[in-house]
Amino acid sequence: MFNTIIMRKLLTLLSLGSFLVCTAQADLPTDYLPKEFHAGRRAALRQLMPANSVTVVFAYPTRTFSNDVDYLYHQNPDMYYFSGYKEPQSMLLIFKDEQTDSAGHKYSEALFVQKRNAQAEQWTGRRLGVEGAKEKLGIPMSFNGEDFKNFNVDFARFDKIIFDRLPADLADNPRDKAELFDLIAQFKQKAAMPEDYSKDPRFDNRAFRQLTGTLREIKTPEELTLLRKAVEISCQGQNEVMKVVRPDMSELEIQGLHEYVHKKYGAEEVGYGSIVGAGENGCVLHYMENTKTKVGTSLLLMDVGAEYHGYTADVTRTIPAGGKFSAEEKIIYQLVYDAQEAAFKLLKDGAKWSDAGQAAKDVIAEGLLKHGIIKNKNEVGRYYPHGLSHHIGLDVHDRGNSPVLKKDMVITIEPGIYIPEGSDCDKKWWSIAVRIEDDALITQNGYELLSSFAPRSIEAIEKMIAQKSALDDFKLPPLKSAEKKGF
């Protein structure tokens, strides 16, 4: 007994000691973006930045989920893109021109990170710290956040200070002098930023989205590898759900099956709240409650995207939960499918993006008119109320500026028709909601459909639904408490 206690104490000490020196963890994914990628992105930004300027990037704030529990932290994609740093309470400076510190060191970027703290790390997770940032992220000028206060940077020297919108609702924790609140306050103070900086041309928070949009809308080979994986994983989720779906399943259960498959393949997160809407619920474009207890035999709209190492897919499949499309469902589905095909035909480097949007809209307008669902093509927006397409990447609605498609852009093509109950058309169309969303990589002469792993046509979907699933035998016992009905 005595020995065991001593042993335990020794082990605790050892683990604390090794904790402080940050032992290398075993069995981690090996395909994270390399530090050279982030360095390359900083270099590319520097090329675009105006003369004598500095770009300032802050981490996203943490947000309260409940009392002392935070929402799962998600880094600001710009911070991740330009540094690889994934932790909160941090800040990155990127200088157009090389700077020299008082000791004569040259540098063109500086990163301020969370200080290592054994106690905090035991509760909320490992921190990279200054040494980790230098080694793993390859940023020699890495400092603790608390060092920014005395960091010798004279913002008055810059002709342009470029930054994104600053969060306005941060509360100060007076016991922590290195949190995001302080970094932003010190930045404003050091830069002598006026309250209304929009009138001072030196402070530019419009250029930030312009410059980063130009970079982020074109994916590098490293980004494409991760995006391909995110999209393929999302398709595997769609396929497995198609095979296992039954009318007595709930929307939540189906969401869980998608997200289980994502995690099985190593995708850490979803890129947006999973949308699983049966019947009428499919008419709510971003329906995320997923509370219907039985999906029944109606159409089931599933817009679910895995996020893999920061990059998110955005894939929607609409399937008949009972196995077969009804006659009306087939008509609406085929219209959406044809609209998507019309758009696909126009995708290639140099094409006008809005032409694809118009082509899809025309197909839907003609179809709805032909079936008497609208009386005039101008009414198409009633049942197709959103756009066709957006970039995907580190954000599900990723940044970009170009109205012309370019090679190595990755965009969605997602027409839809939604006919809510009570619509001004024959009742037989009511509660039919169809969206088909695919992710396309623009190439020199066309596109590559990254989401081709999941079936799209009526026949192929019905065939997939008829297949057996590895999850068919995954049956759990009913809950004991379910026997007591209500209160």
Contacts with ligand GLY, residue ranges (CB under 6 A): 272, 303, 314, 396, 414, 437
Helices first, then strands: H and E counts in the chain: 12, 19
Of the candidate spans 96-104, 160-168, 291-299, 408-416, the one that interacts with Mn ion by CB under 5 A turns out to be: 408-416
> Would you give the binding string for Mn ion spanning residues 246-285, x where CB under 5 A is met?
----------------------------------------
**Residue 83 vs 412, nearer CB to ligand GLY:** 412
Residue least distant from ligand GLY (Cβ): 303
Of residues 204 and 414, the one with the C-beta less far from ligand GLY: 414
When asked if residue 303 is in the footprint of Mn ion (CB under 5 A), the reply is yes
Residue 307 sits in the site that holds Mn ion (CB under 5 A): no
| Residue 129 to residues 20, 78, 125, 274, Cα–Cα distance (Å) | 11, 20, 12, 34
| Residue 111, C-beta contacts closer than 8 angstroms, at least 6 positions apart | 83, 85, 90, 91, 92, 93, 133, 137, 139, 141, 142, 143
Q: What is the spatial distance between Cα 318 and Cα 216, in angstroms, rounded to a whole number?
A: 30
Binding partner of 164, given Mn ion, ligand GLY, none, CB within 5-8 angstroms per partner class? none
Contact 126, 22 (CB under 8 A): yes
Least distance to ligand GLY, CB of residue 95, Å: 36
Which of these ranges, 73-81, 152-160, 209-217, 296-304, lies near Mn ion under the rule CB under 5 A? 296-304
Q: Least distance to ligand GLY from the beta carbon of 411, Å?
A: 11
Candidates 52-60, 139-147, 298-306, 322-330: pick the segment binding Mn ion (CB under 5 A). Answer: 298-306
Cα–Cα distance, 83 to 91 (Å, whole number):
10
**What's the closest the beta carbon of residue 359 comes to Mn ion, in angstroms?**
18
Q: How far is the CB of 438 from Mn ion (least distance, A)?
A: 10
222-245 in b/e burial notation, b at 16+ Cβ within 10 A?
A: bbbebbbbbbbbbbbbbbbbbbbb
60 binds, among ligand GLY, Mn ion, none (CB under 5 to 8 A by kind): none
- Tokens in use for 291? 């509370």
Write out the two tokens for 279: 């019947």
Q: Are 203 and 195 in contact (CB under 8 A)?
A: no
Which is nearer to ligand GLY, 363 or 392 (by Cβ)?
392
Q: How many residues in the chain?
A: 487
Residue 38 or 219 with smaller CB distance to Mn ion: 219
Nearer to ligand GLY, 105 or 286 (CB): 286
Q: Which is nearer to Mn ion, 78 or 437 (CB)?
A: 437
CA angle in degrees (0–180, nearest 5) for 286-289-290: 100
Q: Does 314 bind Mn ion (CB under 5 A)?
A: yes
Q: Name the binder of 240 from Mn ion, ligand GLY, none, CB < 5-8 A by kind.
A: none
Nearest Cα neighbor of 326 from 431, 416, 437 is 431
The window from 6-14, 164-172, 312-320, 477-485 that contacts Mn ion (CB under 5 A) reads 312-320
- Residues 349 and 442: their CA atoms lie apart, in Å, by 6
Q: C-beta of 318: minimal distance to ligand GLY in Å?
A: 13
From the list ligand GLY, Mn ion, none, partner contacted by residue 272 (C-beta under 5 to 8 A by kind): ligand GLY
Rounded to whole angstroms, the Cα distance separating 63 from 70 reads 6
Q: Which two tokens stand for residue 343?
A: 């758009």
Instruction: Show contacts with Mn ion in window 423-462 (CB under 5 A).
Output: 437
Per the listing, tokens 């005395």 go with 150
Q: In the complex with ligand GLY, which residue's Cβ is closer, 163 or 308?
A: 308
Report, in Å, the least distance between residue 287 CB and ligand GLY.
Answer: 11
Residue 35, SS3 per DSSP: helix
For 237-271, give the secondary structure using H, E and C.
Answer: HHHHHHHHCCCCCCHHHHHHHHHHHHHHCCCCEEC
Q: Which is nearer to Mn ion, 280 or 438 (CB)?
A: 438
Cβ proximity to Mn ion, 318 vs 412, nearer residue: 412
Nearer to Mn ion, 329 or 414 (CB): 414
Q: Which of 114, 255, 281, 412 is the binder for Mn ion (CB under 5 A)?
A: 412
CB of 386 to ligand GLY, least distance (A): 8
Q: Return the residue matching tokens 């075993």.
A: 26
- Please state the closest distance from residue 396 (CB atom) to ligand GLY, in A: 6
Residue closer to ligand GLY by CB (options 223, 314) is: 314
CB distance 452 to 441 below 8 Å: no
d(CA 72, CA 65): 8
Closest CA to 47 of 107, 84, 98, 96: 96
Among 309-317, 334-342, 449-457, 463-471, the segment contacting Mn ion (CB under 5 A)? 309-317
- Give contact residues for Mn ion (rule: CB under 5 A): 303, 314, 412, 414, 437
